[in-house]
A and B are shown apart, each in its own frame.
Chain A
Amino acid sequence: MLKATLKSLAARKLRLGMSAFAIVIGVAFVVGSYVFTDTLNRTFDDIFGDLSSDVVVRPATPEGQESWATLAGAGSSTTVPADLVQQIDALPEVASADGEIEDSSVFVLDKDGDVVGVAGAPGVAVNWYEEPVREGEERVLQLIDGRAPERSGEIAVDDQTIETTGYQIGDEIPLVTLGEQPRISAELVGVTRFGESGSLAGASLVAFDTGTAQELFLDGENAFNGVSVRAAEGVDAEELRDTVGSLLPDGLEAMTGDDVDEETSSAVEEGLGFFNTFLLIFAAIALFVGVFLILNTFSILVAQRSQEMALFRALGASRRQVTRSVLVEAFVVGIVGATLGLLLGLGVALGLQAIFAAFGMDFGGGLVLQPRTVIVAYVVGVLVTMVAAFVPARRASRVPPVAAMRDDVVLPDSSRRTHVLLGGILAVGGAASMAAGLLEIAPSAAVFVGVGIVAVFIGVALLAPIISVPIIRVIAGWYPKTFGTVGRLARENALRNPRRTAATASALMIGLALVSAIAVVGASANKSIEQALDDGLEAEFVMASASGQPFSPAVAEQARQTGGVATVASMRGSFAVIDGSQSYLSAIDPETFGQATELSMVEGSADLASGGAIVGDDTADSDDLAVGDTINADLGSGIEEIQIVGIYDAGNPLLGGYVVGLQTLQDLGITPADSTVYVTAESGADLGQVQADLEAATSELPMVTVQNQEEYKDSQRDEVNQLLYIVYALLGLGIIIAILGIVNTLALSVMERTREVGLLRAVGLSRRQLRTTIRLESVAIAVLGAVLGVGLGLVFGISLQRAVSDDGLDALSVPVGQLVVFILLAAAVGVLAAAWPARRAAKLDVLRAINTE
């Protein structure tokens, strides 16, 4: 029996290829995500892996937090005085101790005045110091050309930045900083290289001499952000850590370099883990859609081979043997699919690498293929195929032996009632599970929603053979009238095997349901933002940096002096640990901010001058806070108690979470730097002129943009849309698989109907008419999938919006035009999917087709 199975499989390579295809795509995506994130991890390990010297002195980590590294973008304001560095240096166990200064918002401008580097990546600045290097070791930051910066007005820049900008030693390079003089320039005296590969993952790195760095970043204080300590000959790092640690005042800690490196890489991995999860979710969707394709393919193949199966049964094969033969086939297909998927997955990872490289993030070196990836590829590939083949396999075993003798075999179908019942239960149960998740009744919302969606999909797919018949009658209803007999044939073909049509359409349904749901959520998000801004944004202009980096308060100062400007409201902020959890602390001047937006208070007042804080009513609810309570905020210089003086209406589009006064934030040790500046114009001012003047005032700072209300709304919409497009692109994969499913079904159906095709051609159906017939059938299947998908997507999207309407997504918007476009696109997809099967059918030799067995 096994031999017979393998022989029959080898004889039908096309069949093997078609059913393996879905697996290949699904596995490729899983492998691609793993390989890419592993490669990413390796790159960051290279960057952060061996950065630190033996012992590092740095501001102490806030209570209850693992490290500062997990607080993205956060830095501490605690400094190490210069004499403490000298004290450490003087220890007998220490070979050298060097004070380090680091800042992450010094951006290099290229010759066109644009910021160098990937948007959002930091502009790193450090102080240059010479440190002794042991034999066989190299400095992490090496000077590869020119000399080190020695005085104010001199800098060294990393080689990648030099390469992209084309600056040469001796050039005067423009820089943007957060200081009072936002734009400075300095002479390039040296070129540095970071690590072995030189990759900074899109950032730039500027080195100043220590005096200048202190001037720029520490207000001229003779101090440092941290100390890099090297042990003397024969001194153990841990021993040194303890010795150095005993010298340190509160607020500073000593750690071994290895621990710091470990901490950094695990933080990076955690950050990348999100990305991996994201990709794997889409891989799961691709595989889920793939299951439908495989299920369908195997069903058709089993139907076509029912006579062969019946012959086996007639010759004495047991039902178990027939089942096993189909499962063995699935196993082989799974192995082949997983192998090809593994190879294709490496290609996917290479593609992702190339895409990132095109955006300036070059992760050099080869791909990382871990044994885990290979194992997952085979387990997923084989398991999914076997599961998908199980139902057809059981059906195959029920072929009665007598079928071998008959011409028109009808496979025993499991009863419709079972299907309806099971489908109904799954759909209703899934919906209930989704609802429980969305309404947060269930303990784990994400799991309940996810399982619910899968159950609804399977339920609807089971019901689809029944509900698809009336839908197809509507979709294809106009065919006979418009296309005559050709149309009638197409309609009847789409209807002749509802189970097959429905299963094929279901694959498309899943992809389109997700896309439509996201379209509804996206449109609602856009509408909600727009409404909130319409109601809440009173400032005529918004100034912000494109990359989201804070910028110098000098910008706001210049805006204040621009003619026609009434008020200028700065908004600042910092990451902070508030009541033990990571959070963000915003800072405003309620006076001016109240001009930019209507700051309506639910309770208390917005008087922040006394050092108090206000919170949004949503945060107050969730954290159980009332006016008069205090919060514990740690911004890196120890815990500070702040009293809540008011609770504001969180419906405000510009404000969220905890808010303090500008002065309070500065008192907490955060260097003044604006994240956004809101400008209101004097009444009657020429807005066009004001905007032009503001733009002129910021021309020195290419990263800061001036947007009027419309432009600001557009940019907010763009942010939502960009996210949508990324999700669409990834869901596109599921849709491609669904298209292949249609191609597959049509091709197999045409094969099955070879004699019919021959007959039609014999009695005078032209090739063109035959192609039209197949195309119309394909369009009917595709549109059925689209209608089901868009319908489900609407339900998903609307319930999602309803569920989170309290969290800012309060306006529902159904993008009707977009949904109609989806259905039209599906029709186009149908035409496309039919191209190959139609051509194959048209090419059939009439005589041979009639005489096929």
Chain B
Amino acid sequence: MTTNHQAGPAAATAVELTKIYGSGDTQVTALGGVDVEFAAGNFTAIMGPSGSGKSTLMHCMAALDAPTSGKVYIGDIELSSLNDKALTRTRRDRLGFIFQAFNLVPTLTAKENITLPLDIAGKDVDQEWFDTVINTVGLADRLRHKPNELSGGQQQRVACARALVSKPDIIFADEPTGNLDSRSGAEILAFLRSSVRELGQTIVMVTHDPGAAAYADRVLFLADGQIVDEMLDPTAEKVLERMKNFDAVGQVS
């Protein structure tokens, strides 16, 4: 299924991406030959029922997991040809991450957490860009706090700032609002969308919340390891409708 409807070059591409867990009787096909492109400057949500392979797709795209076969490109770098060292460097220099929980190193302050990827790389922090990001996420007065002194929403905003500050080619977010109340969640999602619209960031987000998916420019639907549908300019209602449809299909099959 070809899915490149967007303008601009692809920030990440998957070709014939297959991931099989186990072997023999216990073999499970998590991804069965997925082709997908994520255009630069675009906010994509990946949705699908549990076990559909949406997390696996993201992990393979994000150089966190190795595919069984097929290729993954970040820009023009092909990941399967890289060793662990190069993969680590790719993650550090070109990718950003926001996880559902436990995004921050508890011993470091908010500021140290935000600059962590740059510090690890030994790169200088672009102070102007840093200030821009901090002001956008509204953390200016919280920089010296340790994670346990921040609320859940504030912690996720620190995580977002960390993902943004190194200007990665693409940010992967795994259920970033899964642990938050709806108001904090909405703040984070609005912030992610504005970073795409205003700062030109590329974001891929896995979620099972139709409301969260509605913030994206485009929604990909996965089922049984295949991309089965996509939706542009989604609304929560449209996505929910589509998902209900899934459940029905799932119940029938």
Contacts and interface: CB of A to CB of B under 8 A. Distances in A.
Interface of A: 407-408, 484-486, 488-489, 492-493, 495-496, 755-756, 759-767, 769, 846-847, 850
B120 A485 contact: yes
Given A484-B119, A766-B88, A766-B89, A850 B105 contact: no
A137 to B, nearest CB: 77
A759 B105 contact: yes
Interface string B98-111: 01011111111000
Interface in B62-86: 64-65, 84-85
Given A767-B84, A847-B59, A847-B64, A488 B112 contact: yes
B97 A489 contact: no
Contacts of A765: 88, 92, 120
A467 B23 CA distance: 55
Contact of A764 (B65, B101, B121, B148): B121
Most chain B beta-carbon neighbours within 10 Å: one of A495, A759, A767: A759
A492 B84 contact: no
A413 to B, nearest CB: 15
Contacts of B102: 755-756, 759, 850
Contact of B117 (A488, A756, A763): A763
Interface residues of B, number: 29
B122 interface: yes
Chain A contact residues, majority secondary structure: helix
Contacts of B91: 762-764
Nearest to B147: A408
Given A408-B148, A755-B102, A846-B64, A763 B97 contact: yes
Contacts of B35: none
A408 B146 CA distance: 14
A769 B117 CA distance: 12
Contacts of A492: 107-108
Contact of A756 (B92, B105, B148): B105
B205 interface: no
Contacts of A764: 88-89, 91-93, 117, 120-121
B122 A484 contact: yes
A709 B99 CA distance: 76
B157 interface: no
B162 interface: yes
Given A484-B122, A762-B97, A496 B116 contact: no
Given A488-B119, A489-B107, A766-B85, 9 more contacts: A489-B105, A492-B107, A760-B105, A762-B91, A762-B97, A764-B89, A764-B92, A764-B121, A765-B92
A781 to B, nearest CB: 15
Nearest to B96: A763
Nearest to A765: B120
Interface in B13-53: none
Nearest to B162: A763
14 contacts: A485-B120, A495-B107, A755-B102, A756-B102, A759-B99, A759-B103, A764-B91, A764-B120, A765-B92, A765-B120, A766-B85, A847-B59, A847-B65, A850-B64
A763 B92 contact: yes
B116 A485 contact: yes
A489 B85 CA distance: 20
Nearest to B107: A492
Interface in B163-177: none
Contacts of B121: 764
Contacts of B59: 847
Nearest to B65: A847
The 5 A-B residue pairs whose C-beta atoms are closest, nearest first, are: A764-B92, A492-B107, A485-B119, A766-B88, A847-B64
B107 A769 contact: no
Most chain B beta-carbon neighbours within 10 Å: one of A755, A767, A769, A846: A846
A493 B84 CA distance: 25
Contacts of B65: 847
A81 to B, nearest CB: 90
B99 A850 contact: yes
B138 to A, nearest CB: 22
B99 A767 contact: no
Nearest to B179: A407
B55 to A, nearest CB: 9
Contacts of B104: 759
B119 A493 contact: no
Given A408-B148, A485-B119, A767 B88 contact: yes
A21 to B, nearest CB: 28
A761 B99 CA distance: 13
A762 B108 contact: no
A759 B108 CA distance: 13
B166 to A, nearest CB: 9
Contacts of B117: 763-764
A449 B59 CA distance: 63
Contacts of A486: 120
Contacts of B105: 489, 756, 759-760
A756 B65 CA distance: 18
A489 B116 CA distance: 10
A127 to B, nearest CB: 82
A763 B120 contact: yes
B127 to A, nearest CB: 18
B100 to A, nearest CB: 10
Contacts of A761: 88
Interface string B165-195: 0000000000000000000000000000000
A764 B92 CA distance: 4
B115 to A, nearest CB: 8
A759 B97 CA distance: 9
Most chain A beta-carbon neighbours within 10 Å: one of B59, B84, B102, B121: B102
Nearest to A850: B99
Contacts of A767: 84-85, 88
Given A764-B120, A767-B84, A488 B93 contact: no
Contacts of B101: 407
A661 to B, nearest CB: 77
Given A763-B120, A850-B102, A488 B64 contact: no
Nearest to B119: A485
Nearest to A496: B107
B107 A493 contact: yes
Contacts of B120: 484-486, 760, 763-766, 769
Nearest to B59: A847
Contact of A489 (B92, B108, B122): B108
B4 to A, nearest CB: 27
Nearest to B84: A767
Nearest to B87: A846
A769 B107 CA distance: 17
Interface in B100-154: 101-108, 112, 116-117, 119-122, 148
A761 B105 CA distance: 11
B85 to A, nearest CB: 6
A766 B85 CA distance: 7
A268 to B, nearest CB: 61
A489 B108 CA distance: 7
A847 B105 CA distance: 16
Contacts of B112: 485, 488
A747 B102 CA distance: 21
Nearest to B116: A763
Nearest to B146: A492
Interface string B217-250: 0000000000000000000000000000000000
A745 B93 CA distance: 33
A492 B102 CA distance: 18
A756 B113 CA distance: 12
Contacts of A488: 108, 112, 119
